[in-house]
Chain A
Amino acid sequence: MKNLPATLGRLRHSVRARLMGMLLIVTTLVLLFAGTALLIHDLSVYRKSFAQDVSAAASILATSTAPAMAFDDHAAAQLHLSSLRARHDVQIAAVYDAGGHLYESYVADGVEPAATALPGSRSQFLGGERVEVRQRIEQNGEFLGTVYLVFHYDLRNRVVAYLQIFAGVIIFGLLLALLLSYSLQATITRPLAAIAQVARQVVEKRDYSLRVPGRSDDEIGIVISGFNRMLDEVRAQTTALTSSNSALTAQIAERQAAEEQRRQSEKVYRAVGESIDFGIWITDAEGRCTYASDSFLKLTGLTQEQCDTFGWTTLLHPEDLEATLAAWQSCVRTNGPWYREHRILGVDGQYHPVLAQGVPVLHEDDSIQGWAGINLDISRLKQTEEALRLADRRKDEFLATLAHELRNPLAPIRNAAELLSVPSASEQQRQWSRDVIARQVNHMALLLDDLLDVSRITRGRMELRREFVRLSQIVNAAIETARPLIEARRHSLAIHLPPGEDLGLNVDPLRLSQAMSNLLTNAAKYTAPGGRITLTAAIDEGGLRLDVADTGIGLAPGAASRIFEMFTQVEGAAAHSQGGLGIGLALVRGLVELHGGTVTAASAGLDLGSCFNIRLPPSALISHMPDRGIAPEGLLAATGGGHAVLVVDDNRDGADSLGLMLNAMGYAAHVAYGGESALQLAERLRPRIAILDIGMPDLDGYEVARRLRSTEWGRRMQLVALTGWGQKEDIDRAREAGFDLHLTKPLNVAKLQRYFATIGGLQATAASSEPRSPA
């Protein structure tokens, strides 16, 4: 109860204040009413009695002055008038004779004298504070004169006095009311304050065991006991609610956790479903699609609603429609799983093969709820299937052809062998037989070689052995191989090579000439006897270009791109064919692509001849020569000037080939296969240039460079690093070790050549020695 004053203070503004206010207002009102009524009553009584009083005074005066008037005795009249002096409220007392003339008068101090003629009769009360009265003086019925009196009717002083008394009464009454209300309020507000205090504590502390003390039999007592009973009830209900609430909270948390788990799980499953092309689908028990993924809707251009009403069936391929509908009806009838491949028309106008697969979803009671499943995009699968089928067919054809091709030489071989075994055979006949056998076996060997090469290329096992060769060598080798067939079919062969110096190539001579001979053989095969074959070599910005044109059967439009595929032979070409496995052009393409080049075929049409074209990139050329007129340095051979160049590489082939190339360019190349031997060789030769490999077992390139730089003669040398490592830090490291140039493998010859050109005097003189051709 320590806050009681505060509580009471609060109460003062409520119950107590209202009680007190009411009491004060009522008291004031009652007093005001009573006072006003009394005032009105008093004033009217006062006025009446005053009027009577003045009338009586006038009457007495009239009687007493009657003799004076009767006998014209001024002194007596004056005497009687003066007797009114005792009355302070008399302002004028006058007697007028019967003619209305002033006879005698008495006038109080400070008042104007009485009028000489009797004033006209007006109302008795004049202007609130003046009262006049007239009284006839009669004697024996004779009118002797008139008494005229004017009184001061002191209404204001009376009212003021009255109000003073009234104010006193009101103040006293209010004080009394205040005192009374204080004592009354104490009996009401104190219990109320106690209730309020307990109520606030209950609210603040949530302690429903608190009770309001005190007991009385009046209404307050009823309120207190009612309040306490209410607290009992609240306590009981709160306890019940709290326990119920905690149970509910636990349940809700449990459900939320379960719901969250379910949602996560659904999110995962949905993500799995949606990640598939073309998503998932869900149907109801009648098979109506209730959901289809966006990817499916995007594919078909259908809306979800159109899917609901079997709109997707209108997009089925006509060949699939009947079977799919029948399968779907059967599925719905048997409540079985759904599995169906069909083609669906997409918005792109194409039919997309789709695998629709799903399972029935059951209710708790095993009744069907619907189906759910996926639409799987199987177009790639179908393409693969198709490609496999095609490849399979080609393989079958190839095997048949192979068998035929392998079998063909066997008949002449058997005949020759039979002939050899005949004792009577002449030596000429035996020689013929040996020739036949040798020729046919060679043919078979060639076939088998092609077969093995194609197999190697297909498996990525073919490795090129690039060398420095001249174009004429390649061309000659190819013509040499094809010449027997060309001559046998009486074709004419024309060869056009670029004018000027023979071109230097960095290619595998064997494989490139093999590719060219295949093209020549091909041309010979598919050209009617006596045809014309032209081989043209040319150089342009794209590199080297080799064309083999013929006047043969030509190619059907569209066939040009297919003929380079394995096991492909042009349909209808069989009649012209001289046999073969159909792998020749595939082999050509493989070999050219290994060189970084391309091969294409072109034809004006069937029987209009065809032209096969090989392109090799500029990197296959030793010198780059876009335009001989503008680049007069010409071939590599013209530039060396016989300067000594030291080539160091632990890879002997690498070192030898670079040496050979430098020799071809006109330098005097000396080769070392290790760091130590390189240092000895350099000491002896004092070359101007050294090209060093970095990774070497005994001394690495950096160390060799540092040691060379430490000698007096070595400081003037040009050091070139040639390495497989081309990162910036490798270049920086090479520069630190003293290298002037850093080149990466495989060597860009043009770059090296440009570098040499920047070093003065290196190509001053003509080649002194004939460049050696590579082996």
Chain B
Amino acid sequence: MRRPGPAWRCIGILLLFLCAAPLAQAQERVDEAVVKAAFLYRFTGFIEWPPVEDASEEFVVAVLGSETVARELEGILARNTVRGLPARVRSLRSVHDLAGAQMLFVGDGYSGSLRDIAEGLRRPVLVVSETERGLDDGAAVNFLEADRRVRFEVSLPAAARAQLKVSAGMLAVAVRVRR
């Protein structure tokens, strides 16, 4: 490999100083989305949904307000099944498209009221948020950041409202568990 000359090296360092902040921020958001997509997928292994009469043929994860997560999750679900069912991601424009979904991720890109969505749900849907007040607003699981890592907290009352049972293993790794 040819070594870069001293002039090129100075230019590289200069570019790094100019572009470092916005680039790193963007990359960070993409990594976070990847992790969150993976988490979302893994939550399905630790949560027990109640049996339903009209058992659907597929497991649908609805995503609001985070295209990145939706895209990442779509990649994961394309390779895996959830609870023995083929799974897919439905990116929502509005909450009205929620029918058939067993899980709803509300990204911080959603401008509407999470509370409204949570309270409006009459079916067992796991609502995952990523806002600071996510649990207060009725989400059962909320992503947060700790030590620069993606963590999550769980609200057992919210889960219970949605007739969901959260496994102890998942609770053990949660940052907080609201009871």
Contacts and interface: CB of A to CB of B under 8 A. Distances in A.
Are these two chains actual partners, yes or no?
A: yes
A67 B46 contact: yes
Instruction: Name, among B35, B82, B83, B173, the residue most crowded by chain A CB atoms within 10 Å (CB to CB).
Output: B173
Nearest to A67: B169
B45 A142 contact: yes
A89 B177 CA distance: 35
B123 interface: no
Interface string B57-70: 00000000000000
A73 B35 CA distance: 12
Nearest to B46: A67
B99 interface: no
B169 A73 contact: no
Given A71-B39, A71-B152, A142-B80, A76 B173 contact: yes
B131 interface: no
A73 B173 contact: yes
A70 interface: yes
Contact of A71 (B44, B81, B83, B173): B173
Given A139-B45, A142-B45, A72 B169 contact: no
Contacts of A140: 42, 44-45, 80, 82-83
Contacts of B169: 63-64, 66-67
B161 to A, nearest CB: 23
A72 B45 contact: no
A140 B40 CA distance: 13
Interface in A48-86: 63-64, 66-68, 70-73, 76
A64 B42 CA distance: 15
B44 A67 contact: no
B164 interface: no
Instruction: Name, among B80, B150, B152, B169, the residue most crowded by chain A CB atoms within 10 Å (CB to CB).
Output: B169
Interface in B153-177: 167, 169-170, 172-173
Nearest to A74: B149
B173 A142 contact: no
Given A140-B45, A142-B42, A67 B170 contact: yes
Nearest to A80: B172
A533 B67 CA distance: 211
Interface residues of B, number: 19
A76 B167 CA distance: 15
A519 B47 CA distance: 196
A171 B82 CA distance: 67
Contacts of B151: 71, 73
Contacts of B81: 141
A99 to B, nearest CB: 14
Given A139-B42, A140-B42, A67 B80 contact: no
A68 B83 CA distance: 20
Contacts of B46: 67, 70, 139
Nearest to A79: B172
Interface string B67-110: 00000000000001111000000000000000000000000000
Contacts of A68: 172-173
A135 to B, nearest CB: 16
Interface string A619-647: 00000000000000000000000000000
B35 A72 contact: yes
B80 to A, nearest CB: 7
B153 to A, nearest CB: 12
Contacts of B35: 72
A66 B46 CA distance: 10
Contacts of B149: 72
B166 to A, nearest CB: 11
A76 B45 contact: no
A66 to B, nearest CB: 6
B30 to A, nearest CB: 17
A16 B172 CA distance: 76
Interface string A500-519: 00000000000000000000
Contacts of B172: 67-68, 76
B152 A70 contact: no
B78 to A, nearest CB: 14
A71 B83 CA distance: 18
A193 B80 CA distance: 94
Contacts of A72: 35, 149-150
A70 B39 CA distance: 8
Interface string B105-122: 000000000000000000
Contacts of B80: 140-142
A139 B39 CA distance: 12
A201 B72 CA distance: 114
A374 B35 CA distance: 157
Nearest to A68: B173
A142 B40 CA distance: 13
A119 B105 CA distance: 39
A359 to B, nearest CB: 149
A64 B149 CA distance: 21
B12 to A, nearest CB: 30
Contacts of A139: 42, 45-46
A114 B76 CA distance: 32
A679 B149 CA distance: 193
Contacts of A73: 151, 173
B103 to A, nearest CB: 14
The 10 tightest CB contacts between A and B, nearest first, are A140-B45, A67-B169, A73-B173, A70-B42, A71-B173, A139-B45, A67-B173, A76-B173, A67-B170, A68-B173
Given A67-B170, A140-B80, 4 more contacts: A70-B173, A72-B35, A140-B83, A142-B80
Interface of A: 63-64, 66-68, 70-73, 76, 139-142
30 contacts: A63-B169, A64-B169, A66-B169, A67-B46, A67-B169, A67-B170, A67-B172, A67-B173, A68-B173, A70-B42, A70-B45, A71-B151, A71-B152, A71-B173, A72-B35, A72-B149, A72-B150, A73-B151, A73-B173, A76-B172, A139-B42, A139-B46, A140-B42, A140-B44, A140-B80, A140-B82, A140-B83, A141-B81, A142-B42, A142-B45
Interface of B: 35, 39, 42, 44-46, 80-83, 149-152, 167, 169-170, 172-173
